[in-house]
Chain A
Amino acid sequence: MIEIKDLHKSYKMGKNSLHVLKGINFNVEEGELVAIMGSSGSGKSTLLNILGMLDEADQGSYTLDGVPIKNLNEKLAAQYRNKFLGFIFQSFNLINYKSAIDNVALPLFYQGMKRAKRMERSMAYLEKVGLADWATHKPNELSGGQKQRVAIARALASNPKVLLADELTGALDSKTSYEIMDLIQKINDEGRTVLIVTHEKDIAQMTKRIVNLKDGVIIEDKKITQVRAMQNV
């Protein structure tokens, strides 16, 4: 699903150049649930941004579902993001003047789907995350866990190939975190590829594979036995 070869990325900080990613090689198969771990400054967020086409690598190749992701202009990047990727953020990134269902429907709007169909589909995803009754509520009327559920529903709405989650439990307490992870595991069980960036070990243990980053290189990449989130709730 994802093939990355010899990925390099550096940022210019004034006169100095900060080499953040120093040759990453890494593949993800369809249906995997991967945690990318590392301390802050390890390059894990940069890697996720490149995977999410929010940032571009200086060197190396990136292939997503057989499509080479290269020399993207903004327009093409937007189309690919819409088609291939679903984002889940630490700070939820819901549009606060839109209701839950309208937030979920937004990627579908950009796909050009008609309103009635959009609403029907968004409702189905809200049901899936258990928030059908909250469809007309604005984000500020929802708890942190509920907001993240809405964000997950939104990420799923466009039926993407890969879900990219950046510290998705970072703003949540442990109990809510596990509930969210339970939802992620169930989504993965249905065969969806999910990548999670996290620095929390317990969250990483709930995935099927941990990739450990340090100073811009992968120091460890191992398959693990998944801990089901429900056991902890």
Chain B
Amino acid sequence: MFSLERWQEVFETISKNKLRTFLTGVSVGSGIFILVVLLGVSEGFQNGVEKQFQGDAENIINIYPGSTSIAYEGFNKDRRIQFTNEDYALVNKETDQEIEFASPLYQIFAGLVSYGNESGSYRVEGILPDYQFLEKADIIEGRFININDVKAKEKYAIIGNRAKKDLFKDKSPIGEYIDVAGLNFKVIGVFTDPGGDREETRVYVPISTAQIVFGAGTDIRSMGYTLPKEENYDLALKQSNAFAAQIEQMLKSKLQIDPKDESALFISNNIVNTKEIYLLINAMKIFFWGVGIATLLAGIIGVSNIMLIIVKERTKEIGIRKALGAEPISIVGMILHESIFVTSVSGLFGLIFGLALLEIVGPYIELDFIRNPSVNFSIAVSTLVLLIAAGAIAGFFPAWRGARIKTIDALRDE
């Protein structure tokens, strides 16, 4: 394989059979090119869908209070349930699950917020620092609330990007004071949220401040939790369900709710909803891999076909070479050497063109469902290796058959 003489012979053959070389190369190169682009689009599609569906942390568990529907322990039914800081503290203390992020929430749905002459009705939410992660909010200016702000009951506000645009236009709001329900709050940060405008019209303040400002005492409206990420969906779902069941039982017992009462507490387990997304993404992955493998297979079949034709076309030449003293192994070696060389070089070109296309055009693609198409380089390289190996195997059998043809028959071939 590494004999210089063989390389010279192979180069000579390749360069003197340009059309044949070109056709083989195009077939392999375009196969790899299509595969790479396809894998890239698949990746982009996946990114796009994930982006579309995930406004909040995908594993968030929210608990909302409702009204009882069953009389229990001396209470009438239709009793409104109210959570307090105490209930939130109880869950955090008593649960045996490890909690990743947690925050209670006290919100006013239509809080009048104004700055100068601009004003709007925004949802004002009192929260803890972890809430940033529950909502997947990204700070684009300033900072989020920290635990000291909560302890000191600071009148600080973090405003959504939409609210910032409404109230401040292009001006930086950091350090400015906005009027929330008649009180001045200092803006310390601006956030974006993958939930889009709907979630970017919110104003976050420390929960301790909100409870005072809105006269809520220790009341909270709901609480949110996430659990640490698990390796797979099924395990995450199991842990999530166990956690939800445990806090339901815990709160029902503390708040004196009939364990069978189904309207007193509402637990929304987001991970249940994300199952569809997981399934969709998986289905897409399978689809694109299927198409990719089919393309690859077509490429391999194409290469085998070409190899078959090449060997057939060269039958007489093989006969001549054998008459002049070529051993069968050297015939097989020659054909394989050529085919592997041609497939490698053209496959590499296809790979480079495919990657270049994704790299250059990819960032300009701004469709809702396709974002940042790219391809894992090692996957691309391994498909190339696979194609070359397949080409070699596909080339081997015709080469072997060609070498086995009796010299005398090969010489008679026209």
A residues apposed to B, CB below 8 Å: 49, 52, 54-55, 74-75, 78-79, 81-83, 87, 89, 93-95, 97-98, 102, 106-107, 109-112, 114-115, 154, 158
Contact = CB atoms under 8 A, between A and B. Distances in A.
A79 B328 CA distance: 11
Interface string B307-340: 0000000001101111111111110000000000
Contact of A107 (B316, B324, B408): B324
B324 A110 contact: yes
A75 B406 CA distance: 12
B327 A93 contact: no
A109 B13 CA distance: 14
Interface of B: 5, 8-9, 12-13, 16-17, 316-317, 319-330, 403-404, 406-408, 411
B328 A75 contact: yes
A80 B407 CA distance: 14
B324 A82 contact: yes
Contacts of A112: 5
Contact of A93 (B8, B323, B328): B323
Contact of A78 (B13, B325, B406): B325
A54 B320 contact: no
Contacts of B325: 78-79, 81-83, 107, 110-111, 158
8 contacts: A54-B408, A75-B328, A81-B322, A81-B323, A81-B324, A82-B325, A114-B5, A115-B5
A52 B323 CA distance: 8
B38 to A, nearest CB: 37
Given A74-B327, A78-B322, A154-B324, A93 B9 contact: no
Contacts of B326: 78, 110
B17 A54 contact: no
A93 B324 CA distance: 11
Contacts of B12: 98, 102
A89 B320 CA distance: 10
A75 B321 contact: no
A89 B137 CA distance: 84
Contacts of B9: 109
A112 B365 CA distance: 57
Going nearest first, the 6 A-B pairs with the smallest beta carbon separation are A82-B325, A110-B325, A54-B408, A97-B16, A107-B324, A78-B327
Given A78-B328, A114-B5, A93 B322 contact: no
B327 A75 contact: yes
Contacts of A74: 322, 327-328, 403-404
B134 to A, nearest CB: 71
B17 A75 contact: no
A115 B4 CA distance: 10
Contacts of A106: 320-321, 324
Contact of A54 (B329, B404, B407): B407
Given A54-B407, A109-B5, 9 more contacts: A55-B408, A75-B328, A78-B325, A93-B319, A102-B12, A107-B324, A110-B324, A110-B327, A115-B8
A15 to B, nearest CB: 22
A13 B256 CA distance: 100
Given A54-B408, A98-B16, A79 B327 contact: yes
Nearest to A45: B408
